Amino acid sequence: MSDDSVLLDPLLDAFAAMDPLRARVRTVLLSLPQEVQLDFIEDPRFCIRPLNRLNATETLLALPAPDGTGSRCVVLKKRLASCSEAFAFYIIAHELAHAFLRNGSWQQFSDPEDAADALAASWGFQKPASWF
């Protein structure tokens, strides 16, 4: 494994003992362009973790603002461990795209959802036709 995987592993701490979800998140992170990986690694406000339904406050995260203020936490549903790998990869990449774009636009895509889909697709994670 490359140095990148060593740098990225701390981002996966919240998913310890949560395979296959941890492995799915790791696969997506490792496939991202290096500039994107470094943006996440170097920002202490970035985090990625599973949604814990036992702690409702975890769902009350502020959306990241375009100026870079606010949370850059990506919270993933544990269902992403049991749906198809293609769908999980797509959702994880889409959420990471939002974080990278500070929930903003990308290229000609002014809508944040369209921007996240387009950026995720540019990373190789197209929206699959179904969940399974």
CB of 32 to Zn ion, least distance (A): 17
CB of 91 to Zn ion, least distance (A): 9
Nearer to Zn ion, 34 or 51 (CB): 51
CA distance readout (Å), 102 to 62, 128, 130: 12, 24, 27
Query: What is the full DSSP assignment across 21-73?
Result: HHHHHHHHHHHS-HHHHHHHHT-TTEEEEE--TT-GGGG-PPPPPTTS-S-EE
CB of 97 to Zn ion, least distance (A): 8
CB of 61 to Zn ion, least distance (A): 14
The token pair at 100 is 């990278």
Q: What is the DSSP secondary structure assignment for residue 120, as one 8-state letter?
A: H
Nearer to Zn ion, 29 or 99 (CB): 99
Nearer to Zn ion, 21 or 95 (CB): 95
Nearer to Zn ion, 41 or 109 (CB): 109
By the criterion CB under 5 A, which residues form the site for Zn ion? 113, 116
